[in-house]
Chains A and B, each alone.
Chain A
Amino acid sequence: MLVRGLRRKIGVILQLQVNGDVHEVDVPDHWTLLEVLRYRLGLTGSKQGCDKGDCGACTVLLDGQPAISCLVLAREAEGRSVLTIEGLAPRHVAAGGCGVDPVQAAFDASGALQCGFCQSGMILSAWALLARNPRPRPEEVRAALAGNLCRCTGYTQIFDAVARLATAGAATAPETSPEAVRD
């Protein structure tokens, strides 16, 4: 009973695998994955926009698939791998690359942002697309980014950034060798 009472008081200890690290966090049942990322783990790269699944600013990758983290209960993410924008560059470096991830570099080179609020979700959706399809056609790029809204750019530079990588043969696919990434 004591243990049960304690559990209730502090919530439930969750094990979350975020960007390759395992975090133990105590979270009430009604907290979303986004709230845990931002307010327990300090990973504020995932943005809190509409908070109801319209804007895509909170997009993270759950087992490699883009997911709206404001509509995923934190406890439902247990046992799954979470990748946030903060995890991209370390992952790239760990794979032998240098600097930021090629998708981030392409967004930079294409000027694919103004205020930057949509950018982390946009980059992760693009990253997931390129991981499964290194040479997407323009309509596939548009379809893959349909769930991420941008109020500044008019999308052109964002599509340019992804097209830049698609033409380069998609350096970002996880199975791609680091040499190919540098080329």
Chain B
Amino acid sequence: MLRLPSFRLEQPDTLPQALALLDQAGPEAAVLAGGTDLLPNMKHELRRPSVVIALSRVKGLTGIAEAADGAIEIGAMTPLAEVAQSALVARALPALAQAAALVAGPQLRQRGTLGGNVLLDTRCQYVNQSHFWRSALGFCLKKDGTVCHVVAGGSRCVAAASADTVPALMTLGAVLEVARHDRTRQLPIDAFFVADGIVNRRLEPTELLTRVRVPRPAAGHRGAYGKLRERGSIDFPLLGVAARLDLSEAGVVEHADLVLTSLAAAPRRVAGAADALRGSAPGHAPAEFETAVRRVAELARRQCRPLPNLPGDHEWRGEMVPVYARRTLLAAAAGQGPVHHV
């Protein structure tokens, strides 16, 4: 039996109320959206906030809409199930729709939110355990300790960024709208994550993620998401791959992107992927396109060295990097996906 530690619950009705509460409480507070990440972490005593500020009653934080300039704006409290089922998202942002549909199981997608997934805490097989389990082994860098159980002698936490939607949003050039009681700022998602497993998000304790804005995709945009996990039904990713291909009217790749997650503390963009794919034409010269895809898969393999930070064999995860990179790019080109083993 895992119990929550005690706290005071606040249920503000408006965004200014929520921001004021957050400003008063500061680092003592935790923000509760769907609770599917925060509450298990609190049960494991990875966090012990004295105040929990629930956003469920705050109006104006849900919904998916197309802005006048063609951008797609998704409220941070929009359930993942809604993102996954939205016809607009499926048509315009296929990688995001596929990623949202592969988060956890149906109950958790109904309750979990897009904002919560973007802000998902990093995960490690030595961290996401009960307090009793962690105390038996000895605490680690991420919480309460001074050593790393993943990297012997390591001084930097390597807990893995594990949000499925983040690599998809990174390929789409998403911008995060972040509010504080006295201001609102727009932050490109590319600049939001840092390679520090203890806290990998650049969000101040008094700030709230309110909206995710995705610029209007190109007319010939194709995208797909690939996910490796232990069980097809519920698990966090052991590897997540988001691919983007923007095709010209003639079917030539004008822009491409490949972002991987669940390897290190921050999601990783494959360097050189765009250059390798640009100019190829999946429809007209499939053999040449596949050669370019294989080159990108090899780049991904060389740039990624999975650590034993997640359950399972990390060398196998490393072998899966080029496989999922290749399959996800091919699926994107074919307008298909997701790439998933079940």
Which positions in A face B, CB cutoff 8 Å? 28-32, 35, 48, 51-54, 56, 59, 65-68, 71-73, 75-76, 125, 143-144, 146-149
B188 CB within 8 Å of chain A: no
7 pairs of residues in contact across A and B, judged by CB atoms under 8 Å:
A29-B7, A31-B4, A52-B40, A53-B36, A66-B107, A73-B9, A73-B54
The residue on A at minimum CB distance from B43 is: A52
Residue B1, interface by CB 8 Å: yes
- CA–CA, A75 to B9, complex, Å? 9
B interface residues (Cβ-Cβ under 8 A, vs A) = 1-9, 11, 32, 35-36, 39-40, 43-44, 52, 54, 56, 104-108, 110-111, 232-234
Known interface pairs A30-B4, A66-B106, A147-B108; A71-B39 also in contact (CB < 8 Å):
yes
Q: Are B108 and A53 in contact (CB under 8 A)?
A: yes
| Nearest CB in chain B: distance from A147 CB, A | 3
A72 neighbours in B (Cβ, 8 Å): 35, 111
List of A residues within 8 angstroms of B7 by Cβ? 29-30
A73 to B55, CA, bound (A): 12
Which residues from A are CB-within-8-Å of B9? Answer: 29-30, 73, 75
Closest 5 CB pairs of A and B: A147-B105, A146-B233, A29-B9, A51-B2, A52-B40
Interface of chain B, main secondary structure: loop
Are B111's CB and A68's CB within 8 A?
A: yes
In the complex, residue of chain B having the shortest beta-carbon distance to the beta carbon of A124: B107
Given A52-B43, A54-B234, A72-B35, residue A66 in contact with residue B11 (CB < 8 A):
no
Known: A68-B107, A73-B9, A76-B56. A147 touches B233 (CB 8 A): yes
A29-B9, A30-B5 given as contacts; is B35 within 8 A of A144 (CB)? no
User: In the assembly, what is the distance between CA of A51 and CA of B39, in Å?
Assistant: 10
B5 A67 Cβ-Cβ under 8 A: no
Shortest CB–CB separation between residue A119 and chain B, in angstroms? 16
Among B2, B5, B39, B110, the most chain A Cβ lie within 10 Å of the Cβ of B39
Contact status of A73 and B32, CB under 8 A, knowing A30-B6, A146-B234: yes
Complex interface: chain B residues within 8 A of A56 (CB): 105, 107
Asked whether A32 lies within 8 Å of B40 as measured between CB atoms, the reply is no
A31 contacts which chain B residues (CB < 8 A)?
A: 4
Closest A residue, CB atoms, query B42: A30
Q: What distance in Å separates the Cβ of B269 from its nearest Cβ neighbour in chain A?
A: 30
A83 to chain B, nearest CB (A): 14
- Give chain A residues whose Cβ lies under 8 Å from the Cβ of B40: 52-53, 71
A32 to B38, CA, bound (A): 13
Given A30-B7, A66-B106, A125-B106: A71 and B111 interface contact (C-beta under 8 Å):
yes
**B39: nearest chain-A partner, CB-CB:** A71
* Given A66-B110, A67-B110, A147-B234: A75 touches B5 (CB 8 Å cut-off): no
